[in-house]
Amino acid sequence: MLILLLSILFSTTTNPSSDSVQVVTEIEEVTVFKSQAQIQRLGKVDLQVGKNTLVFSGLTETLINQSVQLRGNGSYTLLSITTRHNYSEKPSVNPNLENLQKRKQELELSIQQKNADLKVIDQGIAMLGSTQEIIKNNKLTAAEIEQLLKLYQQNLSELLQDQISIRNEIVAIHEELSRVNLQINNSWEVERTSFKEVIAEVQTNNPQSIDFTLSYQVSNAGWTPSYDIRSSDIDSPLEITYKANIYQRTGIDWEDVKFTINSGDPSSRSTKPELYQNYIGYNSYRGIPGGTANVLRRVSNERGVIKGKVYDVDGELIAGASVMLPGLAIGDVTDQNGMFEISGVPNGFYSLSVMFIGYETSTVRINISNNGLYLEIPLEFGVVGMDELFVRGYTSNEERSGLFTTDGFPKHRFAEEKIEEPTFIDIVETASQTSFSYRIEVPYSVPSDGKAHTLEIKNEFIETDYLYGTVPKLSAHAYLLGNIPDWNELNLLAGEANIYFDNGFVGSTYLDPASSGDTLSVSLGKDERIVLERTKLKDFSSKNFFRNKTRELFTYEITVRNTKSEPVSITVEDQIPVSTNEEIQVSTKELSNGDLNEDTGIIDWKLDIAPGEVKTLRLSYELEYPKGKRIVY
């Protein structure tokens, strides 16, 4: 038995026998998950009677060993299947990266040579500096001194000019070297220093030719969703274009293969979590001056997954906070428990931004290296004033300078140019109990460069209810909203969306179906022809003292003017503060028939305004609290 065990162990850790069969395979199909991908390779093998050792070589280092499967169309018995590294194969280098690295070496050598030339010039200038000593130590005539000084000036001028010229050349070389280094860093090309192999032992009773399918999963690959949302006018349905942004850094290009885009995530935890005791105690966090978050972080085994929670300095969980990786244009919004999750994050260093109205923005530097992260991020209270909130993700190869106007909005040419209709490819859409997938019928290529390669999947025309919405307290603009009922049937995932209306680019937003209710609202831009104004009426606002109480009355007036030639329906939102302290009482005085949500303090008015009509709303409320106290809200 011991000999048998040793022979089995030896067979899995040493090279296959010299009569092993090298199987030539090609990638036929790739299924891309949100994080990881499944590769299918095809190869034909002529089997002999008895035991055959098959070697599938040239595979990526990112192959996940436990995911390997082998299938064939003949009659055989699979005895064993193992994986190993092969360091003897010649490494492959992407030609573009190789040229960049060669140019880098040339530039570095040129800088060394120029610096050597500078040293020679410096020595020449030093030697000319001894001219005064020559004149002092030698009896020279006036003519000889004049000739010597003239020669000194001529030579010094030439040396100084050469010195300036060489220094300028060094500056120019350094600038080119910086550009080359940036290209190398952004290329994400992989120099393969080793390969993996799959060794399969197969038993057959008769010689036969079999078509084998080798499948396995790889890390350093995945996809993120994004959308184009278009509408020509308020009488037309919304058109949503689904796009998959596929990335991979496996070291092997996927050339002309069929793709299946799957919404699942094999790298995420698949077992139900267990509840343990949740002990309560006082929060010891008091914040850090300057708004720097005291972030708790733990490394997890979920590759490319960032999870965590967001809370304030009092330990209260924050729902609706935006958690973004701007460099990848992906992110999440915290749920009712303050939790967020971002998956499909490739290896690298990133800045994670956490934003919520009324709090200081927190930026956390993170590093993903074949791992995941769990973060607990506190936000400091802060004063945030804004006319309009605009959220946009941008990719790492975009330069921020020149892309934005002085208002902070992106510059685009879509408003002047005719938008061409996209060409869509044939797909087969399927759904299972836990995920859905799109099979792309046309072969496509994705190189191993770590960059997002966009594949348009499909488009949907959706009946939409259009209306206007406004929050005058935050922005003096009315926004056209497209409300999508029954959006759950659309298989939408959280992702960036570009908005187009009336053949013009409106802006970008982050589409998060998880935070939506029965109706999904999409903002289609602001309409300047609806004029709003919110003013505080000082004559109807006051502050007085009654016994040991302070009473403050606040009154605001909102006017909505429709300068359009057609009637509009608009929802106006405002709010009153909500007290969580029994010593602070909030009472409404006037709401102009608005609907008040007692839990949130939000009031909404639904108005129908004729062309040229002006409607006025009045909001008034009173605060009562102990005298001598200062309140904040």
CATH number of 357's domain: 2.60.40.1120
Task: Note the pLDDT tens digit of each residue in 537-579.
Answer: 988 777 888 788 888 899 999 999 999 999 999 999 999 999 8
pLDDT at residue number 410 = 36
pLDDT at residue number 9 = 36
The DSSP bridge partners found for residue 296 are 376
pLDDT at residue number 192 = 54
Task: Note the pLDDT tens digit of each residue in 513-531.
Answer: 766 667 788 888 888 899 9
**pLDDT(242) > 50:** yes
Q: CA 204, CA 79: separation in Å to the nearest integer?
A: 10
Q: Give the tokens for residue 512.
A: 């998060």
Task: Note the pLDDT tens digit of each residue in 370-411.
Answer: 788 899 999 887 643 333 333 333 333 333 333 333 333 333
> Do residues 508 and 535 share a domain?
no
136-150, 278-292, 296-310: least confident range: 278-292
Q: CA 526, CA 470: separation in Å to the nearest integer?
A: 9
| 153 against 236, higher pLDDT | 236
282 part of a folded domain: no
**Given 471, 497, 526, which residue is the final one in a domain?**
526
pLDDT at residue number 630 = 81
Domain extent, residue 75, equals 9-92+192-222
Q: CA 300, CA 318: separation in Å to the nearest integer?
A: 23
pLDDT at residue number 129 = 67
> Do residues 199 and 310 share a domain?
no
Mean local confidence (pLDDT), 261-265:
88
> Do residues 215 and 164 share a domain?
no
Backbone phi, psi, residue 470, to 5°: -155, 150
Domain total of the chain: 5
Position 343 confidence tier, pLDDT thresholds 50, 70, 90: confident
pLDDT at residue number 391 = 32
Residue 389: count other Cβ atoms within 10 Å of its Cβ: 14
pLDDT at residue number 92 = 54
> Do residues 148 and 78 share a domain?
no
> Do residues 53 and 101 share a domain?
no
399 part of a folded domain: no
Residue 286: count other Cβ atoms within 10 Å of its Cβ: 7
Q: CA 544, CA 542: separation in Å to the nearest integer?
A: 7
Residue bearing tokens 């973004």: 324
> Do residues 99 and 73 share a domain?
no
> Do residues 317 and 247 share a domain?
no
> Do residues 412 and 498 share a domain?
yes
In terms of average pLDDT, the best of 42-46, 183-187, 352-356 is 42-46
270 part of a folded domain: no
Chain mean pLDDT for the chain = 79
- Looking up residue 179, the CATH number of its domain turns out to be 1.10.287.510
Q: CA 346, CA 329: separation in Å to the nearest integer?
A: 13
**Given 526, 547, 567, which residue is the final one in a domain?**
526
Nearest to 373 by CA among 349, 404, 337: 349
Position 423 confidence tier, pLDDT thresholds 50, 70, 90: very low
CA-based torsion, 102, 103, 105, 110: positive or negative: positive
Residue 616: count other Cβ atoms within 10 Å of its Cβ: 11
